[in-house]
Amino acid sequence: DKRFFQGMPSPSAAALIAGFVWVMVEYGVPGQDVRWLATALALFGGLSMVSNFRYYSGKEINLRKSVPFFAILLIVLAFILVSTSPPEVLFGVFVLYGLSGYGDALWKLLHRKKPSPLQGSEK
């Protein structure tokens, strides 16, 4: 299915780490204070890249044809939101994308169809 990547794409994992560093620099947090959190985040990104979880690829989005006004409005609002506080907003987006593969798998697990009992097994 071309709509999804198998495992988190490496640029997304890199963006997750870069976003974390950007937020820590923005708030003046020394690296020594967050080394375990940074290690956990790097481990999360690395394991997500080699996982079998599905991550949305965005390949089906076609901006060449007519785009609804609501979609344009959402894009403008996203730019406004990012411009208010780029490090925090972008890191939040990267974290949400990183968790989306796990959320998709959990959703499928919770909403899978139960196997129907075999016909004729009653005596």
In a domain, 33, yes or no: yes
Q: Which domain holds residue 26?
A: 4-105
Q: How many domains does the chain have?
A: 1
Closest C-alpha to 41, from 65, 15, 61: 15
In a domain, 41, yes or no: yes
In a domain, 84, yes or no: yes
In a domain, 40, yes or no: yes
Distance CA 17, CA 41 (A): 7
pLDDT score for 120: 56
pLDDT tens digits for range 34-48: 999 999 999 999 999
In a domain, 65, yes or no: yes
pLDDT score for 116: 67
Distance CA 62, CA 41 (A): 33
Low-confidence ranges of the chain (pLDDT < 50): none
pTM, 2 dp: 0.81
In a domain, 119, yes or no: no
pLDDT score for 32: 94
In a domain, 117, yes or no: no
In a domain, 111, yes or no: no
